[in-house]
Amino acid sequence: MASPLILGDFLPYRLSVLSNTISRSIADIYDREFGLDIRQWRVMAVVGETPGASASEVTTRTAMDKVAVSRAVAGLIELGYLTREPSAEDGRRSELRLTKVGQGIYNQIVPLALQYEQDLLARLDSNDVKQLEALVTRLAAAVSPDQALW
């Protein structure tokens, strides 16, 4: 008989719970201050960094489900934060861009997100931070050897 799985000792479970908890904590800020859910912010973050990205590119970069990206994009368009236009190079591809209002929201959230990260990492010393970054990078390469996760 196989040994029982102890979730509290199982790294994939622990990383998932940690990631979800961190995401929910910061998502509370986006929701409270700007009325955005985490999926909408992730779309805005990718488009803010890469204007003209397609929904498919957002799906790849965020590892979000296509349906979740589609709903987030539709919600952001409805809010007036995002536009979707056909690509000049490929009419089958749509490019996403932040509107002026969306860019303003993005510009307000970025410092909050960076401060959240800084506050979280402040609990570690500089060697721990370097080691964490190296370990996360190695784990990402192990689970996705053919394509960088970020």
**CATH assignment of the domain containing 70:** 1.10.10.10
Helices (H), the chain: 11-34, 38-49, 55-62, 66-79, 100-121, 126-143
Number of domains present in the structure of the chain: 1
Q: Give 103-143 pLDDT, tens digit per residue.
A: 999 999 999 999 999 999 999 999 999 999 999 999 999 99
CB atoms within 10 A of CB 37: 14
Q: Is 1 within the bounds of a domain?
A: no
Give the domain extent around 82: 7-143
The predicted structure's pLDDT at residue 56: 96
Q: Is 63 within the bounds of a domain?
A: yes
Residue 10 is encoded by which pair of tokens? Answer: 């199982």
pLDDT of residue 51 exceeding 80, the answer is yes
Query: By C-alpha distance, which of 108, 132, 137 is closest to 121?
Result: 132
CA atoms within 13 A on the CB side of 143: 9
The predicted structure's pLDDT at residue 2: 85
Q: Is 53 within the bounds of a domain?
A: yes
Q: Is 2 within the bounds of a domain?
A: no
